[in-house]
Amino acid sequence: MNAVERLYRRTAEGIQPGLEVMEALLEGLGNPERSVAVIHVAGTNGKGSVCAMVESVLRASGVRTGFYSSPHLISFAERFRVGGVSISEKKLNRYILALEAHADEVCAERGLRRATFFELSTLIAFQFFADERVDVAVIETGMGGRWDATNVVWPLCSVITRIGMDHMDFLGDSLLEIAGEKAGIIKRGRPVVSAPQEEVVAEVLRESGEAILFCDEVVGVRRVGAPQKIKVETQARNLPPLELPLLGAAQRENVAVAVAVLEVVEDLLGVELAFKAGLERVCWPGRMMEVSQTPAIWLDGSHNPQGGAVLSSILKECFGEREIGFVVGFLADKDAVGYVRAWKEWARRVWAVPLDCRRGCSAEEAAERAVLGGVEAKAVSLRDGWKEAEEWALADPNRMVVVCGSLYLMEACVEEQLMEANRFYMV
């Protein structure tokens, strides 16, 4: 058993809300998280894209960046990046072994419960970034905010992307409750930037007592011409038109969030930010990503109703004249029915495939959810579904296939050798 496999055994212990263990582990290391400036990002949808945009602009501006995100697509090492490059497997193994031993010792000495998978992962990130002497670390929460293992930082800026219904088993079954958990990353006296929110969410954020900067009040982003050509304007700058590698109106909103954050931290960092260069180079795999032109196959990691609505808007804006087939796989604890319902109008064919992971649905379960979402679906293996979808799309140049429903499905496609892993690697 290698070190990563050892770490993954801790996922069986589930999620344990609370910061006591994390604070004790960091204290035992001399609090490495305090040696790095942090931009802390929470939200339901878009937080990974916003993180990627912020990190890309900072890196293009000469800032030495750290980037901690989850889940990964292909390799666990993707979660820990410095300067856009993932940690090496050899170095990652050393960190896991050393910090797992540290965690077990500290927890035993203090009579604390055993550290979870995500707590140890986050501990690795903070120690790695401190050792690498990064200037700024962009840190994405795992789930929620208030009791998330990342919520031990005193950030340059707290960021809240769009909040919707997800992780209801842990965060609550209403927007009000979920917003309260996400707002837990807000720190007294620190800047807060938010995406536009439903009024109930916005009110929760305002009740934190801090001034909330809603990005749409200070940043304008509009499409000019081709779907990926955008114009960004703020009170401080008027950027020339640029080509954004990520598709859709939701990504334009994510640009507005990222630009607002960057303008907040620009003076604090004392650097001149290369907005255009950074945004044009941003890479965030698995988000409406083209992996084949003939036949046309796109991958999208969206998995909840809000993400499904975003996918639907992209299809309308960019592919409205195409016939679209879907290969879908779901986690059992996600609202797959609401997700499918969001894009059902575009579905000409649907293949439901299994997700072979701890919370994954079987092909039959995925098909049942798709049918409840309003489409006809065929339960097949991933390999057979991919092959049938390819053949269907090749029969007519106006057809395309979208593989979606879970980021874990992206990893499964690579494991089945349906595509090359290097399509996902970020540089």
Instruction: For the chain, list the domains and their CATH numbers.
Output: 3-281 (3.40.1190.10), 289-423 (3.90.190.20)
Q: Please give the structure tokens belonging to residue 60.
A: 């293009």
Residues of the chain with pLDDT > 90, as a percent, come to 76
Given a cut of 50, whether residue 4 has pLDDT beyond it is yes
SS3 250: helix
Q: What's the pLDDT at 259?
A: 98
Q: What angle, 0 to 180 degrees and rounded to 10, lies between the N-to-C axes of helices 336-343 and 305-319?
A: 20
Q: For residue 166, is pLDDT > 70?
A: no
Span 298-319, mean pLDDT?
93
427 or 347: whose pLDDT is higher? 347
Q: For residues 260, 263, 269 and 273, what is the CA-based torsion angle, rounded to 10 degrees?
A: 110
Q: Give the DSSP H or E segment for 253.
A: helix 249-269
The DSSP code sequence of 296-362 is EEEEE---SHHHHHHHHHHHHHHHTTSEEEEEE--BTTS-HHHHHHHHGGGEEEEEE----STTBPP
Residue 113 DSSP symbol: P
Average pLDDT on 286-313 reads: 92
Answer yes or no: are the C-beta atoms of 277 and 311 closer than 8 Å: no
CA pair distance 407, 300, nearest whole angstrom? 8
206: CB partners within 8 A, 6+ apart: 212
**Mean pLDDT across the stretch 115-125?**
97
Q: pTM for this one?
A: 0.89
Mean pLDDT in residue range 220-248 = 92
Pairing of strands 242-243, 289-292: unpaired
Measured at the alpha carbon of residue 213, what is the angle toward residues 212 and 219, in degrees to the nearest 5? 165
Q: Are 313 and 306 in contact (CB under 8 A)?
A: no
pLDDT at 324 over 90: yes
- pLDDT tens-digit readout, 248-291: 889 999 999 999 999 999 988 999 999 999 999 999 988 899 99
Query: Which residue shows structure tokens 């293949």?
Result: 351
* Tokens found for residue 132: 């690498």
Would you state the pLDDT for residue 173?
Answer: 63
Q: What residue type is assigned to position 186 of the chain?
A: I
